[in-house]
Amino acid sequence: MPLYVGFFATGVATVLLGPLLPELAGEWRLPVEELRSLFVAQFLASAVGSLVSSYRLGLSLLVGYLLIALGLALLAIADWPVALVPVAAMGLGLGLAIPSTNLWVAHAQPARRGAALSSLNLVWGVGAVTCPLLFAARPRGMSSDAVLVVLAVFAGVILLSLVATRGEAPGRDASAEAPGSRRSAGRRRLAALFAIAGIMFLYVGIETSVGGWLVSLADQIQDSPAASSLLIGSGFWAALLASRALAPLLLRRMTETTLFGAGILLAAGGLVGLMVARTAAGIAVSAAATGAGLAPLFPLALSFLAELTAATRSRGTGWVFALAGTGGAVLPWLTAQLAGGPDRLAAGFVAPVGGLVLLALCFGVLRRFEDTQPNHYSPDSESRLT
């Protein structure tokens, strides 16, 4: 339970700068554009945390939530540019806590990895959606600094709960291979690991591109910016959360690879729809289809990663998570570059479409590896057990 509650907190902290930045700009009397380095500090620190997070899962969890709590508390009293330090501390904590939580849950529940990780990342999404509401629904007169202090205390309580459980990181899976077979399958396993890294890089980039540019795209097909565009943007995230909640039920009736392939097809239809739709209703339906299709891909990729590296409990795979984060920086930028103009954003969506094609190719490489690998590895094993 502390892991799931903690993952809600990481969802809140990950998107915190979005609703917080306008208030910080007003408090520090700076143009909001000058605060963009806060995002850079959080992203770079998070990448560093991700690189080392998989070596000691238990220690990464504890240090991660400690840094999140300290970063939030110090940000409440910091001024510019000192605020870069607590934001970097929070980012480093997120980089440690998010991958280690995913891997802990994956290895703790080997018989239902896909379902467990879908539920876990659903909780993260609920936290991300809740974050702006915390600022909107706070009592009148309550400052943003007070909200940060409350979140810091919440992270501290999670840290104490994790310490109190005194749990040990999950041990080896029963399906872990013998040393001899591990050596003989080394090249295939490395190819599969790079395929999973590619899937995660592309997924984060596609999700960030759609989520970041969708409202602007909806505005372009209307005479002027409208509230309906914001609703379309919310509809994308709502569809993603709903589909992620449905994934554990679907995995009782189909294999992980089947659900993964179905998600790619549904997301492809939605992305093409976003490129060609010329009405708000068409954009809304396409956005919902895209969100629903993307939802199961990331948790299932994590499940494949945990299955592939079961023998070592995913030790040394932090670079995969660090690479995934860079996708969120590359593809949104590429989408804007390919648009070619302020009123041609739909053309730029060829970037996430191309990204999804590459993601499907990476999945094909992973499937090829599965077909030629000895019995000790199979991404479908969890669903069959379920």
* Cα separation, 354 vs 377, whole angstroms: 30
Give the confidence band of 165 by pLDDT, cuts at 50, 70, 90.
confident
Question: How much is the average pLDDT of 67-89?
Answer: 94
| Model confidence at 193: pLDDT above 90 | no
Most confident range, picked from 63-77, 222-236, 337-351? 63-77
Residue 36, both tokens: 């963009």
Identify whether 179 is preceded by a cis peptide bond (ω within 30 of 0). Answer: no
| Model confidence at 386: pLDDT above 50 | no
Lowest-confidence region among 3-12, 102-111, 373-382 = 373-382
Lowest-confidence region among 86-90, 115-119, 277-281, 332-336 = 332-336
* Cα separation, 330 vs 333, whole angstroms: 5
**Residue 263: which H helix or E strand, with range?**
helix 256-276
| Model confidence at 230: pLDDT above 90 | no
pLDDT of residue 57: 82
Domains and CATH numbers, the chain: 2-165 (1.20.1250.20), 179-385 (1.20.1250.20)
> pLDDT exceeding 70 applies to what percent of the chain?
86
Lowest-confidence region among 43-47, 124-128, 227-231, 267-271 = 227-231
Residue type, 28: W
* Cα separation, 145 vs 142, whole angstroms: 8
> pLDDT higher for 44 or 287?
287
Q: Between the CA of residue 121 and those of 79, 80, 105, 116, 117, what are the distances in Å?
A: 33, 33, 11, 9, 6
pLDDT tens digits, one per residue of 300-347: 998 888 888 776 666 667 788 888 878 877 888 888 888 876 568 888
Lowest-confidence region among 121-135, 147-161, 176-190, 352-366 = 176-190
Look up tokens 């103009």; give the residue.
Answer: 341
- Please check whether residue 7 is in contact with residue 120, taking contact to mean a CB–CB distance below 8 angstroms: yes
Residue 156, both tokens: 């501290």
* Cα separation, 128 vs 12, whole angstroms: 5
Give the confidence band of 381 by pLDDT, cuts at 50, 70, 90.
very low
pLDDT of residue 330: 84
* Cα separation, 383 vs 64, whole angstroms: 31
Question: Structure pTM?
Answer: 0.77
Give the confidence band of 178 by pLDDT, cuts at 50, 70, 90.
very low
Q: Between the CA of residue 127 and those of 12, 14, 104, 232, 373, what are the distances in Å?
A: 5, 9, 19, 20, 38
pLDDT of residue 22: 80
What's 149's DSSP letter? H
* Cα separation, 344 vs 285, whole angstroms: 20
Helix (H, G, I), strand (E, B) or coil at 349: coil
pLDDT tens digits, one per residue of 249-308: 999 889 989 999 999 999 999 999 999 998 889 999 999 999 999 999 999 998 888 888
What are the residues whose beta carbons fall under 8 Å from the beta carbon of 145, sequence distance 6 or more?
76, 77
Most confident range, picked from 336-340, 354-358, 365-369, 376-380? 354-358
pLDDT of residue 362: 94
Give the confidence band of 357 by pLDDT, cuts at 50, 70, 90.
very high
> pLDDT higher for 322 or 379?
322
* Cα separation, 194 vs 43, whole angstroms: 22
